[in-house]
Structure 1
């Protein structure tokens, strides 16, 4: 699969959110801090099953996806390494179940604050706004566009479609492009 300039923009937007400490690198510490943010926003105990599942999932994401992108072996991944790594790894949406789905499932469960099997707009805004620093108006617009059936909530399938589109898609008009914050036009 050919990676487009649009995908590079999306990957850079994701990188900015994943570089939690803002030092220009993603490290295992950043991934752990990201987990802690989500757990904190969810208001669950750090030793809860939900917290452990998320932390384990994010550790696996670091080990299996991010760490192998570290081309120079310095224990950190810069934007160039991450973009090149995503270009190498995220080549086939059919690999989504093994590459991204486990972390997405944990994240869905974390965002679903009332555990009703859906993410409503308030839950979406809390997690993407408070944790990923996505402005409220962007959260509302993205949420409305992702809610394909107009139910007022994202079910697990809609959420997976959004994440799949974000990481693999090339449609410049796809609302999922802005899942982790508005990308530059």
Structure 2
């Protein structure tokens, strides 16, 4: 069965981790294909040097060893049904092992910086219990909202010529295509 390599998307936070995992699983096959290329062009030489660089194997190994669990968490966080309370618990439970990038420290620093910890631990005196309940049900990210705005922007570009009444049809096509 042939698999198409994943395309990392800058606005999809975990897509580069999925691409790294894909290549980590298939690096020997990729090397075989690339090393079979003929020619002495700059691009061919550069790609051959890249896939045969021992650092690539060690870097992909580090990603798989320590960070493969984060891409699933990122997908959960992009969901519109996942709450900040669930995200806080999941982020605090993350274990990266050796954590060469010190990502765990970065995450803890960010959680503390943005009052998330105080809200999750009900430490703020200026917030009522009713507001705490609402805050803990909020989405941890605005990714799904931002994606919706980006999609609408692409539908409403000046070079498009269609009626506003067709937007629901375009949305159905988009969501049914699996591009979301």
Same-fold status (TM-score > 0.5) = no
- Higher Cα Rg: structure 1 or 2? 2
Bigger relative CO (Cα 8 Å, ≥ 6 apart): 1
TM-score, with length taken from structure 2: 0.28
